[in-house]
Amino acid sequence: MNSELGSVYYDTRRQRFRVNWRRTLSIVVGELLLREILQARPFIRGRLLDVGCGKRPYAAIYEPLVEKSVGTEVVYSPHGVGMADVICLAERVPFANRSFDTILCTEVLEHTIDPFTVMREFARVLKPGGYLLLSVPFIYPIHESPYDHWRFTSYGLALLCQMAGLEVHYIHTRGGLGAMLMALWGSLSVRAVNALSQLLRQSIPLRERMIVRWCLALPQWVYLGLRERCFAKVGSLRSKIAGLITLGYFVVARRGESHENTRV
């Protein structure tokens, strides 16, 4: 039996969280982000704010660790607003100073109008000693047009945190050249299948047919399997390449005990 929410589910047979290929074909992107969130579980506690929560795919991970969670979304979200508690922009979240112990913001910052203001808002609503868990893409196709505005390097992310008064605990790359190429292949393949569906005037998109989805998912599963089994032997070289070219970043940052950031 599987416990499922959104694009992430818990496989009780294998006793691990996995990305659900029936709901998303961004499997490499999803799996690498999922692993980062699982690794960051020690920083998840207290009251949690899930910014750009979508269908709350990570709720099954964080709900057992927190006292309460609150999700926000924008009215034009392509993921819907049914799971959101509050509809608002990330630039102006309607919460008091020092309201949350943890903020989770995955693949959202690139869609905001003003990421500098967003980071200041995060610092404002975090309690002293609270943690921000943030993920962003780096080399990845434009998505959710026309609301894809930004890309950030690790240095830019560190600067954003510093300017907001947040202390970077770590910044991880999410895959190197192989992950980037596989994610690009997956994205372009899905777009090609969508175009073919339109050309053939299919009432049900081809990507929704299980055999087509399986064919699009298989190379990504193979890559992830090889990455686990074989690429570990060249870990140091892979890390150097990922430092130059990567699919995206995952940041854990902390609000200092003495930092003050109040809304004007």
The verdict on 100 and 162 lying in the same domain is: yes
Residue 264 maps to a domain: no
Q: How high is the pLDDT of residue 257?
A: 80
Pair (80, 199) in one structural domain: no
CA angle 219–177–32, rounded 5-degree value: 65
The pLDDT of 153-170, averaged and rounded, is 97
Same domain? 231 vs 147: no
- Both 137 and 190 in a single domain? no
- Tell whether 147 and 216 lie within a shared domain: no
Tell whether 263 is covered by a domain. Answer: no
Cα–Cα distance for residue pair 177/188, rounded to 1 Å: 16
* Pairwise CA distance, residues 77 & 230, whole Å: 39
Same domain, yes or no: 126 and 74: yes
My answer on whether 163 and 197 are in the same domain is: no
Q: Tokens for 193?
A: 């299948």
Residue pointed to by tokens 């993920």? 135
The boundaries of the domain holding residue 99 are: 2-176+243-255
* pLDDT of residue 236 exceeding 60: no
Nearest to 130 by CA among 159, 99, 85, 157: 99
Residue 67 pLDDT greater than 90, yes or no: yes
**What is the identity of the amino acid at 197?**
S
Residues 94 and 215 in one domain: no
Is residue 261 a part of any domain in this protein? Answer: no
Provide φ and ψ at 62, rounded to 5°.
-90, -25
| Cα distances (Å, whole numbers) of residue 123 to 7, 82, 89, 98, 107 | 29, 27, 15, 8, 18
Within a domain: 260: no
Q: Indicate which CATH number applies to the domain containing 249.
A: 3.40.50.150
Q: Is 262 domain-assigned?
A: no
pLDDT digits (tens, 9 = 90+) for 26-56: 999 999 999 999 999 999 999 999 999 999 9
How high is the mean pLDDT of the chain? 91
Segment 218-236 mean pLDDT: 78
Span 67-82, average pLDDT: 94
Residue 20 belongs to some domain of the structure: yes
Q: Indicate the DSSP class of residue 204.
A: S
* Same domain (yes/no): 78, 203: no
238 or 120, greater pLDDT: 120
Of 68, 69, 79, the residue nearest 108 (C-alpha)? 79
Query: What's the total number of domains in the chain?
Result: 2
Amino acid letter, residue 2: N
pLDDT computed for residue 230 by the predictor: 73
The answer to whether residues 196 and 150 belong to one domain is no
The whole model's pTM is what? Answer: 0.90
How is 80-119 classified by DSSP, letter by letter?
-STT-SEE--TTS----TT-EEEEEEES-GGG-S-HHHHH
* Residue 50 and residue 158 in one domain: yes
- The verdict on 137 and 228 lying in the same domain is no
Is residue 210 one of the residues assigned to a domain? yes
